[in-house]
Every structure is written in C-alpha cells, then in structure tokens.
Structure 1
Amino acid sequence: MIKNTNLINISTYKNDVIYFEKEMHEILNNFAKYFKINKQIILDVSIVSSYTSRKLNFEYRQKDKTTDILSFGYDDFDLYDKMPFLNLGELVICNNKIKKQAIIFNHSIKREFLYLFTHGLVHLYGYDHQFEKEKKEMDFIVDSIFNPLKITRND
C-alpha cells in the first residue's frame, strides 16, 4: 500500500473544534495494514455538537442520549471489490462528549479522540461488541491499531 494516499474528509460544526489529522492518518494507515487493505481508503468524519449527537443517536439507535461516536458503514464491501478504493463510511464524533470523557477517564483529549476514532474504524469494518467474546476481539484489534502511536494518558 502506498502511504498517505488514504483520504479523510473532515467536517466540523464550528471553527475551534480540536482534532488530530496527522494521527488520524497514521491510524488509518495502521488499520489498512492490519486488515491487509491494499487500496485507497476513503473515510468521512463529522465532528458534531451534543445536540446533533443526541438527535442522530435517537434517530438511528433509538437511544435518547448524547454518545461519543457513531459509525455509519457501507455494509456491502463487495461493491468495492473491483474499484481502486474502499469507502468505509462515516464516523460522527461528539466534540463535547470526548472532552467530558477525557476528564472522567483521566487522560488527554487527544488520547480519547484518537482511541474512539480507532474504535469507530473497527466498527465500520464490521466488528461489534455486543457479547464478551466480540468485545475481547474488538479491543485486541483496536489496541493493535492504536498502540503503535504510543499515545499516553498525558499526551
């Protein structure tokens, strides 16, 4: 795979939203390597308000609360078999929820944001954590993709 050819389209709801584009690309490259994806990956990321997060969470999951991240994948990967790229889907990340969780879990916003970004990517690729066995597998995959960045609690 050729490095830095993956495309992340980022949209934010206001100008002062914090995100870590360089590290997002590193994670996406690690993701491609882990899953042996040898084509360009296209990903949309929307960073939204608490209101939008709650609204989308209710609309698509029937849960009336703000959530940290939502993953909207294209479940038909066969569609992309003959194309030179793979469109993974969209991650919707709640800026305020990330900040609050970083405080609760006693680590940096950077770590919280990027770990959830990685978690969301793995969801887009079809993994879930409804059951303990699935959770262990998904956690292992997320850690395998995230840990090479060596982002500590204080970064």
Structure 2
Amino acid sequence: MIINIDSEYSGELIISDEFYDIIKDVAEYACDFVKCPYETEVNVLLTDNEGIREINKDNRNIDKPTDVLSFPMLDYNEPADFSLAEENTYDYFDSESGNLMLGDIVISIDKVYSQAEEYGHSPKREIAFLTAHSMLHLFGYDHMEDDERERMEHLQERILNEKGYTRDYE
C-alpha cells in the first residue's frame, strides 16, 4: 500500500512522527479488514481548521471547519465491493504503480487535539479514529441513515480495537 502523507499544518500543535505511523497502520489494516483484493494508494493531507474549512467550503458548500474529509475515487454498488474497479481499470488504477486509487483524506490537526480533549482520550487515539472513519468512507461506507451510521460505527470500533487503539491508548 502506498500512503502519501503531506502536511500544510503550520500551527503550534505538535504533529508527532507517531501520527504518521498510526495513519499508515490504520489505513493498511482497514484495507485488510475489508478484504481489498488490490494494492492500494491513499493521499492524506494534514492541515489546520482554516485549511479544512476552505476545502469543506469549496467541495461541500459548508463554510466551517470539520475534523476529517474523505474524497473517495471509487464508485461502489455496495460498500467494499470492488467489482466496479475491475470494470473501470483506466479510471481507478494508477497507470504507473498499478495500485487502486482509493482517494484522499484531509485531517484537521486542530480538531485532533480539541476532540481528543473533549472525548477524554489521546490525540494519537483521535488520529487513529479519524483515519479509520475516513478509510471506511473511501470504501463506500456512509452514515446518512441510522442503520448505515450504526454499521459504520461498529466497523470503525472493530478496526480500532483490533489494532489496539482503544480509548485508553496513549
């Protein structure tokens, strides 16, 4: 799996090297968890509240910061059903690496810290949570309806627990 992580964060909060390791660990495990049959590629951007607010406004017409944004590259008949990728290799696979392009993730480091404090766990656990949540979006999961939300929450908790990123993770 190729995980490209870029940072445009210039605030005072610390982006520890461990954040990068956690993002990679959770993203790789999420691919295994949903049994993705391909080598994949994901782009991750770490930014601040203002940066994510601008992206949110430009892409969703919502003029406020959020914790994480997901931009899936694939279309799915059902979540984690990769059959459409096989039918559209030109659209979904990188011509150089041959990897399946899952999409882009944008994470607000400001929100990582504020939500970690709000929910009573570590920023490391919060970055793991936001990565798991966003990866599920890249696999076609959503939370617009109650049953979808419950399913997605269950799956992200399983991913986090199986990797050891529980609420008491430091």
Q: Is the 8 A contact 2:22 2:124 kept in 1?
A: no
Query: Which segment drifts farther, 11-20 or 48-57?
Result: 11-20
Q: TM-score normalized by structure 2? A: 0.79
- Going from structure 1 to structure 2, the CA distance change for 1:29 and 1:112 (only over 3 Å counts) comes to same
> In structure 1, what is the Cα distance between the partners aligned to 2:46 and 2:57?
17
2:151 is aligned with 1:137: yes
Dislocated runs of 4+, deviation >3 Å: 80-84
Superposition deviation, residue 57 in structure 1: 1.0
Any idea what SS the aligned residue of 1:75 has?
Answer: coil
**Structure 1 residues 18-77: Cα deviation after superposition (integer angstroms, max 9, x where no partner):** 352323232223212222113211110000121111111111112111100000110345
2:99 is aligned with 1:85: yes
Any idea what SS the aligned residue of 2:43 has?
Answer: strand
> In structure 2, what is the Cα distance between the partners aligned to 1:24 and 1:41?
14
Which residue matches 2:117? 103
2:70 is aligned with 1:71: yes
- Count of equivalent residues: 150
- Fraction of identical pairs, as percent: 29
2:112 is aligned with 1:117: no
Query: Which segment drifts farther, 110-119 or 27-36?
Result: 27-36
> In structure 1, what is the Cα distance between the partners aligned to 2:9 and 2:69?
19
Superposition deviation, residue 97 in structure 1: 1.2
Which residue matches 1:59? 58
Q: Is the 8 A contact 2:27 2:131 kept in 1?
A: no
Name the Cα RMSD after superposition.
2.0
